[in-house]
């Protein structure tokens, strides 16, 4: 099916959305006809924000990208990918430690859904150290997070942390 539109999925918890995530989203949006950023409901990670809050932050932040859609999902990423017609799963890599985990996930996903390929995009050098966990911790301890997350996300995070104090 040469020339067929390619739908890619970029799954993650996105708790919270960082400039590193946005870098991957923007770059993936140029590579694929349709990019679905999907917010995973992974309670094991003890998210600070609800799936609906995370979906809204993403929508508010990437609204200028016409081929990007935001959705929430539960369950297997491959099952969700198949349900929306995605043939590619996009994953971001920051460090060697990410690679080992992501490689295992990609190989498992290939076993579960052989028709879905995983594509790795490396983080930009100025974003390589960013993680949602670190940014949440800096925010929780009163540090300035404006350089790590979009301004609207920083404001939402500050309000959430203040409400918990």
3-state secondary structure of 38: strand
What is the tens place of the pLDDT at every residue in 100-153? Answer: 999 999 999 999 999 999 999 998 888 888 889 899 999 999 999 999 999 889
What pLDDT sits at residue 2? 63
Mean pLDDT, rounded, for 156-164: 89
- Residue 6 has a CB neighbour count (10 Å cut-off) of 16
Catalytic position from the list 54, 87, 91, 132: 132
Is 94 an annotated catalytic residue? yes
**Is the pLDDT assigned to residue 1 strictly greater than 70?**
no
Confidence of residue 45 (pLDDT cuts 50, 70, 90): confident
What pLDDT sits at residue 3? 73
**Is the pLDDT assigned to residue 26 strictly greater than 80?**
yes
Report the candidate in 42, 47, 106 with the shortest Cα–Cα distance to residue 78.
106
pTM: 0.92
Domain 7-128 annotated CATH 3.40.50.2020: no
Catalytic position from the list 27, 94, 140, 160: 94
- 153: Cβ contacts below 8 Å, ≥ 6 apart: 16, 17, 57, 61
Is 132 an annotated catalytic residue? yes
């Amino acid at each position: 099916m040469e020339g067929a539109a390619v739908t890619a999925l970029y799954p993650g918890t996105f708790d919270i959305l960082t400039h590193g995530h946005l870098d991957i989203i923007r770059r993936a949006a140029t590579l694929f006809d349709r990019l679905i950023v999907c917010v995973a409901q992974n309670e094991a990670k003890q998210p600070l924000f609800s799936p609906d809050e995370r979906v809204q932050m993403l929508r508010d932040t990437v609204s200028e990208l016409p081929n990007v859609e935001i959705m929430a999902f539960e369950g297997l990423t491959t099952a969700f990918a198949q349900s929306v017609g995605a043939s590619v799963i996009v994953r971001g890599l920051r460090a060697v430690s990410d690679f080992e985990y992501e490689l295992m996930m990609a190989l498992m996903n290939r076993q579960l859904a052989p028709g879905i390929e995983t594509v790795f995009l490396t983080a930009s050098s100025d974003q390589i150290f960013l993680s949602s966990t670190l940014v949440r911790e800096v925010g929780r301890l009163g540090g300035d997070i404006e350089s790590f997350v979009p301004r609207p996300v920083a404001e939402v995070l500050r309000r959430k942390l203040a409400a918990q104090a």
